[in-house]
Amino acid sequence: MKKFLLILLIVVNAISAQNSLEFLKAKADSLYKSHNYFDAITEYKRLCFFAEMSNRLQEYSYYCNLMIGKSYKGGARFDDAVKYFFRAALNANDANSEFIAKIEMVKVNILRGTLPRASEIIHEMEEDARFLNKKDSLLYWKAWIHIFDEDWESAYQILKENQLSYEMQRICRNVIEEKYSVTFAKTISYIVPGSGLIYTGNYLQGLLSLGYNILFGYFTADAFAAERIFDGMANGSLLWLRFYRGSIQAAEKSARKRNKEIFNRALVYFQLNYDGAKP
Domain final residue pick, 91, 112, 133: 112
Select the more confidently predicted residue: 8 or 269: 269
Residue at 225 is within a domain? yes
For residue 32, the domain's CATH number is: 1.25.40.10
24 and 108 both lie in a single domain? yes
The confidence band for 117, taking pLDDT boundaries of 50, 70 and 90, is very high
Per-residue confidence (pLDDT) for residue 190, from 0 to 100:
74
Q: How does residue 192 score in pLDDT terms, banded at 50, 70 and 90?
A: confident
CA distance 111 to 241: 43
- Which residues touch 261 (CB under 8 Å, ≥6 apart)? none
DSSP state of 209: H
Query: Of 167, 124, 177, nearest to 143 (Cα)?
Result: 167
Distance CA 229, CA 88 (A): 75
Asked if residue 216 is part of any domain, the answer here is yes
Least confident of 48-52, 73-77, 245-249: 245-249
Total structural domains in the chain?
Answer: 2
Mean pLDDT of 93-104: 95
259 assigned to some structural domain: yes
Domain boundary (112, 128, 162) is at 112
- Whether 28 is in a domain gets the answer yes
Q: Look at residue 127 and tell me if it is in a domain.
A: no
Amino acid identity of residue 245, one-letter, is R
Domain ranges, residue 56: 20-112
User: Is the residue at 200 inside a domain?
Assistant: yes
Domain presence at residue 248: yes
Q: pLDDT at position 225, please? A: 53
Residue 123 lies in a domain: no
- Of 77, 112, 147, the position where a domain reaches its end is 112
Between residues 156 and 8, the one the model is more confident about: 156
Averaged over 188-212, what is the pLDDT? 70
